[in-house]
Amino acid sequence: MDDRWLSVDEIAKYLGIAKDTVYTWVTSRGMPGHKVGRFWKFKRGEIDAWVRAGGAAQGPKPQGGGK
């Protein structure tokens, strides 16, 4: 079983999204990622579970008390 850590480039390609979207989803949608030094790393199983739970489909989390 391939259980290695994936880079931002690899997870973006796996999901069919841009690298910028990966960074946005990690910070605003709770995409499961792990910071290793200055790099983000991902486990495919955690990402798959997050997508199945609707993490990729939901809108961004509210940013405080706007109108």
The tally of domains found in the chain comes to 1
The confidence score (pLDDT) of residue 2 equals 65
> What would the mean pLDDT of 45-54 be, rounded to a whole number?
95
The confidence score (pLDDT) of residue 3 equals 80
The confidence score (pLDDT) of residue 8 equals 97
pTM for the model stands at 0.78
- Asked whether residue 35 is domain-assigned, the answer is yes
Range of the domain at 21: 8-52
Which residue, chain included where needed, has tokens 């706007």? 66
Six token digits for residue 44: 């495919």
The confidence score (pLDDT) of residue 63 equals 47
The confidence score (pLDDT) of residue 50 equals 95
> What would the mean pLDDT of 20-41 be, rounded to a whole number?
95
- Asked whether residue 40 is domain-assigned, the answer is yes
Rounded to whole angstroms, what are the CA distances from 66 to 2, 27, 61, 62, 63? 44, 19, 12, 9, 8
- Asked whether residue 42 is domain-assigned, the answer is yes
- Asked whether residue 58 is domain-assigned, the answer is no
